[in-house]
Amino acid sequence: MRNYAVIGDPVGHSRSPGMQNAAFEHYRLGSPYVKRHVRPGELGAFVEEARRTLAGFNCTVPHKSAIIPYLDEVDPKALAASSVNTVTVREDGTLAGTSTDGYGLEMALETNFGRPLAGAEVCFIGCGGAAHATSFHLAERGVRTIRLANRTLSKAEELAEKLRAANPGLAVETALPSDSDTLARWFAATDFLIQATSLGLRETDPAPFDLGLLRPGLRMAVFDTIYLDTPVLRKARQAGLPAAGGAAMLLYQGAKSFEIWTGLAAPIDAMRAGMEGNSSC
């Protein structure tokens, strides 16, 4: 059996191998999933190797957009979002790409907060790959408003234009995360706040926005795509707001990748244990 991999730069922190191998072991298919450190300049050579040796692979930073020109087929939604995290290598060596990040976020919000997406107002902090892939998915699921705060305002405006073009009737607003007056107004009308930057991976990171804006009485649930206990999450809980980290998003996007590759139902409990390092496999 050919192998599977997750590629990134860096990739050493990834929990995907433990999670995916737990799923393969559940079906007695061995442990074929590995980490591969692939730098940007090495992506082309990796793709040619993958055509011959892999059955599929996941992409993480910084390859989710860069992989697209190498693919033979791309799901239209992933192409519109310029973000692919799941690649299937067919028997003839052709590559098909899609994104499971949006599904992962949808399931994470549902399992953690139990609130409907349809008609919701969502605010993203950060407009990188995570926000691109997931904002398109949430728009498809019927959210009413998407607000985008990004340090480079032009990138937020670029994503906003793509969202408006693909989703007529969707309200999209943009701002700088340093614009606390605008964020305060947004937060008063937000159902889900999605922290989608890498700020919070290290304790020395600056806050992605003024955390004093997370105050008691807001109706919003706070989700951080980082699967650590970040300052954003701690401040949200102190303010009495529902809050959750990115573990469930990782779990469900990985489960969808497994199902795409194998056609088998993802064993969620086994994958959760593998992700947490508690797999008995």
Active site members: 64
280 labeled binding residue: no
8 labeled binding residue: no
152 labeled binding residue: yes
CA distances, 236 to each of 94, 212, 242 (Å) = 45, 10, 7
Query: What single string gives the DSSP state of each residue in 181-240?
Result: HHHHHHHTT-SEEEE-SSTTSSTTSPPSS-GGG--TT---EEEESSSS--HHHHHHHHTT
147 beta partners: 123, 173
Identify whether 62 is preceded by a cis peptide bond (ω within 30 of 0).
yes
174 labeled binding residue: no
167 labeled binding residue: no
Identify whether 267 is preceded by a cis peptide bond (ω within 30 of 0).
no
178 labeled binding residue: no
99 labeled binding residue: no
Q: Where are the beta strands (DSSP E) in the chain?
A: 3-8, 33-37, 54-59, 73-74, 86-89, 95-98, 121-125, 145-149, 171-175, 192-195, 221-224, 243-244
225 labeled binding residue: yes
Token couple for 209:
């926005």
246 labeled binding residue: yes
219 labeled binding residue: no
Q: What is the DSSP letter of 162?
A: H
112 labeled binding residue: no
Give the C-alpha separation, 18 to 209, whole Å: 33
75 labeled binding residue: no
135 labeled binding residue: no
Euclidean distance between the first and the last CA atom of the chain, given in angstroms as a whole number: 19
101 labeled binding residue: yes
96 beta partners: 73, 88
Find the Cα–Cα–Cα–Cα dihedral 63, 64, 69, 74, rounded to 10°: 150
- Is residue 148 classed as helix, strand or coil in its secondary structure? strand
27 labeled binding residue: no
Residues that constitute the known binding site? 14-16, 60, 85, 101, 150-155, 225, 227, 246, 253
Residues that constitute the known binding site for NADP(+)? 150-155, 225, 246
Residues that constitute the known binding site for shikimate? 14-16, 60, 85, 101, 227, 253
